[in-house]
Amino acid sequence: MTDEPTPVIETEGLSVGYGDRVVQRGLDLRIARGEIFVLLGGSGCGKSTVLRTLIGLVPPLAGRVRILGRVFAEAGREPEENPAILRHLGVMFQNGALFGSKTLLENCALPQETLTDRAPEEIERISRDRLRDVGLLDFADFLPKEISGGMQKRAAIARALTLDPDILFLDEPSAGLDPVTSAELDELILRIRAEKGTTIVLVSHELASIFAIADRAVFLDRATHTVLDEGAPAFLRDNSPHKAVRSFFNRTPERKATGHA
């Protein structure tokens, strides 16, 4: 008997990649309810591939993914729609991935129309509420191309929140945003967690953002295709025994970081 809470996301011996190319192997992640968890590492280390595997878009090469205690993805099993689990997930892709032909309001309505039995009036009310939460209610009838990149990301978060998900996956939410917009997005993420207790898994390169919001991070290594270290971002920055991890957090090229070892 342990005091450790049941993880909302758990991976067992998870290997991810495409075809014969293994990007990361042997991942045993346990992410607790209400945690803000960051996948980080250098470019090309497979952060986004791991995220896509967790949300069922890329089949695992080995191992399995459990979400809310149920097997969601497993090696050797074709990816399948699992509405019972999808209903609890919200996803924001790197570029927002809003449907270009639909207004923000329609974008927010779509997942509810598919995955819930809500009445049309309720769907509209919830869609407007979520757009208000991210400060975009006045833009409800705009098409994605009519708003800025930062607003598109906020709209994508609003869409992801319409199902009141237990888990929110965010792929590089701050990428390409100016520091002020990025800080606003960080505040929004913290507010979502505080108000709804949502577990948030994100991929990010933005150190300021990682230090501001993350409870825990795993550092994925491109060279060894494995997790190099895991812990609170500040702890990893100051205490990681791995040079690559400290170099990442201290923004120093690895070859010059020997003095810090």
Partner 1 sequence: MGHARKIEDLLETAGRTAAGSAQALRGALEFTGRVAAAALSGIVRPRSFRLPDFGAVFLRTGAEAVPVTLLVGFLLGFIIAYMSAAMLNKFGAEIYVANLIGLALIRELGTIVAAIVIAARSASAFAAEIGTMVVNDEIAAMRTMGIDPVRHLALPRIAAGALALPILSLFADLAGLVGGYITLALFGYSARIFLTNAFAFCSAGDLATTLAKGVVFGVLISATGCRCGLETGAGSDAVGKATTSAVVTSLVLFIAADGLFALVSSAIAA
Binding site for partner 1 (CB under 8 A): 52, 55-57, 81, 83, 86-87, 89, 91, 93-95, 97-100, 110-111, 114-115
Is 242:254 a contact under the CB 8 Å cutoff? no
Task: Rank residues 161 and 244 by Cβ distance to partner 1 and give the closer one.
Answer: 161
Q: Which two tokens stand for residue 255?
A: 């070859």
Least spacing, CB of residue 109 vs partner 1, in Å: 11
Task: Rank residues 17 and 233 by Cβ distance to partner 1 and give the closer one.
Answer: 17
Least spacing, CB of residue 55 vs partner 1, in Å: 6
Least spacing, CB of residue 255 vs partner 1, in Å: 31
Between CA 226 and CA 179 the distance in angstroms is 31
Least spacing, CB of residue 47 vs partner 1, in Å: 15
Task: Rank residues 52 and 130 by Cβ distance to partner 1 and give the closer one.
Answer: 52
Cβ atoms < 10 Å from Cβ of 156: 27
Between CA 96 and CA 116 the distance in angstroms is 22
Task: Rank residues 94 and 181 by Cβ distance to partner 1 and give the closer one.
Answer: 94
Least spacing, CB of residue 93 vs partner 1, in Å: 4
Angle (deg, nearest 10), helices 149-161 and 120-133? 130
Cβ neighbors of 112 (< 8 A, separation 6 or more) are 118, 123, 126, 127, 162, 163
| Residue pointed to by tokens 């994925």 | 220
Between CA 38 and CA 202 the distance in angstroms is 5
Task: Rank residues 55 and 214 by Cβ distance to partner 1 and give the closer one.
Answer: 55
Neighbour-count burial for 218-257, b at 16+ CB within 10 Å, e otherwise: bbbbbeebebbbbbebeebbeebeebbbbbbbeeeeeeee
Task: Rank residues 116 and 252 by Cβ distance to partner 1 and give the closer one.
Answer: 116
Least spacing, CB of residue 178 vs partner 1, in Å: 22
